[in-house]
Amino acid sequence: MSETTMPPKIFVTRSIPETGLDLLHERLDVAVYETDRQISKPELIDRVQGMDGLLCLLSDPIDAEVIAAGSQLRCISTYAVGYNNIDLDAATSRGIAITNTPGVLTEATADIAFALMISAARRIVESDAWLRRGNFEGWAPKLFLGHDLTGKTLGIIGAGRIGQALARKAAAAFNMRVLYHNRSRDNTFEAEQNAVYTDLDTLLRDADVVSLHVPLSQETHHMIDARAFETMRPHAILINTARGPVVDERAMIDALRTNRIFAAGLDVYEEEPAVPDELIALPNAILLPHIGSASIETRNKMAEMAARNLIDVLEGREPPHRVI
Ligand code: NAP
Ligand code: GLV
Ligand code: GLV
């Protein structure tokens, strides 16, 4: 092989499933971060130098500094659908393609939102922990009373792929009425799910369960703030599988502590992976470690898609899923 036909060089910030790594190894010169932990920013800056492509995680800060260090980069392929960790302006100004993994994780993530919704409504995690502490002394009329979901109203904020999948599951399982709020209306969704479009305040005022599915952006940062919690119903449940900073976490802790709302089911946090002690102490919060897409089947498909995206861009083809 001559110098000019050497395969493009890529860096993978953490080992991903073999379905993706095998594809990468067939076509590219692959280096994978050797330890199974979050790479630090200085290490990232060091390792991205001289690379044609980067395969990163949603927890890697791909800011202007990292992008500048990767002066040879032609593609950044993120192993996620959300790409709020990547500085798109810095990438655009250097002509770097950004790709992501939409669609393949839709059902898995909606399933986690659905699980959080039932678990919060029926206090499943809290009562399991209570039994394990040796407290169960027999059936009791008022033991761990929660709320029914059947016939209740689900408010979806950000009814895109995942939000609509949750709406479909909730309508089928619990005959829930669906309200939604996006920047624009979706006539097909309205026709297929009997979904009703509302402004944000109406949704917050009328929903029994509010579930967040917007991407994190300047517009959606702290979309759910102290005022939003004042607007919600006292028995309302908040589900967040989107991104932590969409919710003002301090305001949420206050609302949960004072029973201003009934419960929260969370997969994401404002300063991930940090979770405030005050939140950990609250019995009416369910706290998952960002496992929305964490099924074996889904992670395999994401790995394959992230690999194909990177290979296609580096070999001069249009990739399956390009953000910019
Ligand atoms: P999507 O199909 O793009 O849906 C996003 C929805 O949000 C769209 O319907 C969009 O509609 C709406 N939206 C965007 N900006 C808005 C705004 N300012 N105000 C109101 N609505 C707004 O994305 P998806 O595939 O469903 O994924 C959604 C997000 O879920 C991802 O960005 C990611 O952060 C998160 N996620 C988390 C996990 C996890 O593990 N917990 C897994 C996968 C994804 P309009 O454009 O009409 O506003
Ligand atoms: C997970 O949070 C994703 O954005 O894919
Ligand atoms: C509960 O177990 C019942 O039989 O009602």
* pLDDT at 3 exceeding the cut of 90: no
Q: Which of 81, 99, 272, 309 to mutate to test the pocket of ligand 2 (most atoms within 8 A of CB)?
A: 81
- The answer to whether 105 touches 302, Cβ cutoff 8 Å, is yes
User: Tens digits of per-residue pLDDT, 169-202?
Assistant: 999 999 999 999 999 999 999 999 999 999 999 9
Closest listed ligand to the CA of 108: 1
* pLDDT at 120 exceeding the cut of 90: yes
% of the chain at pLDDT higher than 70: 99
* pLDDT at 124 exceeding the cut of 60: yes
- The answer to whether 115 touches 137, Cβ cutoff 8 Å, is no
Residues β-bridged to residue 271: 274
Running DSSP on this structure, what letter comes out for residue 141?
A: T
Average pLDDT of span 96-124: 99
User: Tens digits of per-residue pLDDT, 235-247?
Assistant: 999 999 999 999 9
Instruction: Tell me the catalytic residues.
Output: 243, 272, 290
Average pLDDT of span 61-72: 98
Q: How far is 42 from 39, CA to CA, in rounded Å?
A: 8
* pLDDT at 47 exceeding the cut of 60: yes
Average pLDDT of span 211-234: 98
Does residue 228's CB lie within 6 angstroms of at least one atom of ligand 1?
Answer: no
Q: Taking all residues of the chain, what is their mean pLDDT, rounded to a whole number?
A: 98
Judged by phi (left if over 0) then psi (alpha if -120 to 50, else beta), residue 15 lies in: beta
Q: How far is 266 from 258, CA to CA, in rounded Å?
A: 18
pLDDT category at 4 given cuts 50, 70, 90 is low
Q: How far is 200 from 216, CA to CA, in rounded Å?
A: 16
In a 10 Å sphere around its CB, with 0-12 CB exposed, 13-18 middle and 19+ buried, how is residue 170 labelled? buried
Distance (Å) from CA 116 to ligand 3 centroid: 24
User: Tens digits of per-residue pLDDT, 263-307?
Assistant: 999 999 999 999 999 999 999 999 999 999 999 999 999 999 999
* pLDDT at 1 exceeding the cut of 50: no
Does residue 199's CB lie within 6 angstroms of at least one atom of ligand 1?
Answer: no
Q: How far is 312 from 318, CA to CA, in rounded Å?
A: 6
Q: Where are the beta strands (DSSP E) in 187-322?
A: 196-197, 209-212, 237-240, 263-266, 285-287
User: Tens digits of per-residue pLDDT, 136-163?
Assistant: 999 999 999 999 999 999 999 999 999 9
Structure confidence at residue 5 (pLDDT): 81
Q: In this structure, is the dihedral angle defined by the CA atoms of residues 143, 239, 113 and 268, taken in order, positive or negative?
A: negative
Distance (Å) from CA 139 to ligand 3 centroid: 9
Residue whose Cα lies nearest atom 3 of ligand 2: it is 80
Q: Which atom of ligand 2 is nearest to the CA of 105?
A: 5
Distance (Å) from CA 59 to ligand 2 centroid: 10
